[in-house]
């Protein structure tokens, strides 16, 4: 049934009012009201309330991934310039994995050889690369950067600050609410009845999943985190179990005591539920054949993605239509020994992601699951003698059955030291695509309507596009 014009007008009014000053506080205060409104709209089939299940996975590469060696020019002239400027960091041209780009693209690039496991998915159209993405307050030119005439993300080359800004997508606000958290705040009505958070982290605390209403729930690659020896059936601790339950069941007049008891009760209930549900879901160790050591252990990324796969399979039992996950891999701060270390990191990343995507395809889930990478920043184009240093705009992959893959989205910067895209003399590229634009494209696929996007990404109106085109549906 189509909505009537009054509902559409009201929806448009609420969305436009929320972003009236592009202020984050105003947008956040509107999410609660609009979320309730979306619960009604979901029954009418509007974009904010699609009926199908969807899972979004942020895989954060802590330390600053060197995207300059993730995607490398292959045509002879461009490669010669790359080899000259990268010096000891240059990869051999014959080792690169050639990308078959759409006819008329006119570009010739290859992937790092350690990306071999993911290369077939780019070629088959299930993986895309979004080029020269970075944190931005607003679009900026090199002239504006050099003159200081435009706002810049604060503490531009700082790990901690840029991690927060990537995960919140609001570099000009002191509020540390993540865009994944705002996404869950807006759409949590789609998980009505579920006691487990839409936002589940397999990699500890993060800013991406911080919401005003939805709290991030932490699990480990092995499962939920529960109280040690909290067991009703094991006689040595049965009395402890009963005593704790009595304490948690009491009524408390003090607000802090009552809230503490509520949090503990919720944690115990979630742990009990998750353990029971996961006990019915296969371990899926066999789904990660390329990510397993000779000793049978999964690599760090694969262990996290296996748990995510199990939680996606458990979505019906958990009462969830939407799931947002956070996984991570550290070690990308490659100031030293970069060639060796970066190769190992990308190989771990590629094998795990490839096995995960193939598992989703085998289980009939691929169209419902999208994984994307994010990182502090790119690294300098030239070397410090052993590795590379902190830079700015870089490239990121998006993988899934709904991805319009086999393409490079956005413009690869002019790979020239002191060139038109370099902030200085090291090869630190000024981003052409903001984190907001990449996030908006993913949010649209996840079920956020165009009019609601400013509630998730308050700065999106400052940029050229809210849909870069790399997602279907």
pLDDT in the model for residue 162: 97
pLDDT in the model for residue 24: 52
- 54-224+285-462 fold: Alkaline Phosphatase, subunit A (3.40.720)
pLDDT digit string (tens) for 233-262?
Answer: 666 767 776 777 777 777 878 888 877 777
pLDDT in the model for residue 231: 66
Please give the Cα distance from 193 to 150 (Å, whole number): 46
Please give the Cα distance from 324 to 446 (Å, whole number): 10
Please give the structure tokens belonging to residue 397. 């992959």
pLDDT digit string (tens) for 344-372?
Answer: 999 999 999 999 999 999 999 999 999 99
pLDDT in the model for residue 165: 97
H or E segment to which residue 4 belongs: none
Closest CA to 182 of 194, 193, 198: 198
Please give the Cα distance from 219 to 357 (Å, whole number): 21
Report residue 113: phi and psi, to 5°.
Answer: -60, -25
**What ranges do the domains of the chain cover?**
54-224+285-462
Please give the Cα distance from 305 to 301 (Å, whole number): 6
Instruction: Show the DSSP H helices in 286-406 as ranges.
Output: 300-313, 315-318, 338-362
pLDDT in the model for residue 242: 76
pLDDT in the model for residue 26: 53
pLDDT in the model for residue 240: 75
Q: Taking the mean position of all CA atoms in its chain, how far away is CA 471?
A: 15
What are the residues whose beta carbons fall under 8 Å from the beta carbon of 263, sequence distance 6 or more?
A: none
Burial of 320 from C-beta contacts in 10 A (0-12 / 13-18 / 19+): buried
pLDDT in the model for residue 93: 98
Question: Residue ranges of the chain with pLDDT lower than 50?
Answer: 1-22, 33, 36-37, 39-50
């Amino acid at each position: 049934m189509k909505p009537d014009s009054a509902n559409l007008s009201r929806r448009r009014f609420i969305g436009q009012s929320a972003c009236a000053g592009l202020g984050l506080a105003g947008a956040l205060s509107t999410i609660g009201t609009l979320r309730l409104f979306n619960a009604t709209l979901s029954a009418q089939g509007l974009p904010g309330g699609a009926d199908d299940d969807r899972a979004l996975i942020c895989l954060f590469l802590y330390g600053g991934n060197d995207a300059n060696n993730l995607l490398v020019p292959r045509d002879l002239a461009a490669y010669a310039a790359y080899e000259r400027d990268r010096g000891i960091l240059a990869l051999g041209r014959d080792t690169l994995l050639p990308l078959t780009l759409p006819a008329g693209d006119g570009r010739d690039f290859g992937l790092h050889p350690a990306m071999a496991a993911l290369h077939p998915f780019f070629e088959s159209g299930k993986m895309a690369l979004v080029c020269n993405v970075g944190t931005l307050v607003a679009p900026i030119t090199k002239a504006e950067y050099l003159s200081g005439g435009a706002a810049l993300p604060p503490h531009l080359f700082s790990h901690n600050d840029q991690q927060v800004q990537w995960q919140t997508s609001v570099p000009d606000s002191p509020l540390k609410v993540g865009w994944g958290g705002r996404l869950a705040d807006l759409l949590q009505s789609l998980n009505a009845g579920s006691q487990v958070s839409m936002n589940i982290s397999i990699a500890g605390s993060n800013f991406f999943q911080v919401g005003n209403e939805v709290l991030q729930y932490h699990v480990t690659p092995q499962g939920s985190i529960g109280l040690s020896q909290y067991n009703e059936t094991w006689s040595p601790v049965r009395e402890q179990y009963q005593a704790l339950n009595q304490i948690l069941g009491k009524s408390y007049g003090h607000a802090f005591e009552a809230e503490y008891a509520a949090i503990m009760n919720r944690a115990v209930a979630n742990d009990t539920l998750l353990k029971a549900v996961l006990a019915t879901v296969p371990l899926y160790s066999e789904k990660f054949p390329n990510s397993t050591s000779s000793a049978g252990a999964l690599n760090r990324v694969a262990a996290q993605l296996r748990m995510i796969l199990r939680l996606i399979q458990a979505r019906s039992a958990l009462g969830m239509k939407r799931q947002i996950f956070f996984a991570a891999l550290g070690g990308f701060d490659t100031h030293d020994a970069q060639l060796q270390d970066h190769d190992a990191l990308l190989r771990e990343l590629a094998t795990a992601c490839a096995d995960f995507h193939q598992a989703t395809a085998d289980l009939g889930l691929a169209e419902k699951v999208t994984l994307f990478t994010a990182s502090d920043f790119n690294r300098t184009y030239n070397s410090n003698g052993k590795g590379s240093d902190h830079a700015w705009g870089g490239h990121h992959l998006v993988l899934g059955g709904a991805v319009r893959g086999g393409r490079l989205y956005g413009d690869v910067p002019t790979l020239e030291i002191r060139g038109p895209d370099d902030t200085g003399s090291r090869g630190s590229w000024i981003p052409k695509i903001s984190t907001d634009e990449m996030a908006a494209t993913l949010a649209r696929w996840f079920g956020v309507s165009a009019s609601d996007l400013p509630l998730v990404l308050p700065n999106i109106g400052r940029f050229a596009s809210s849909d870069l085109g790399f997602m279907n549906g």
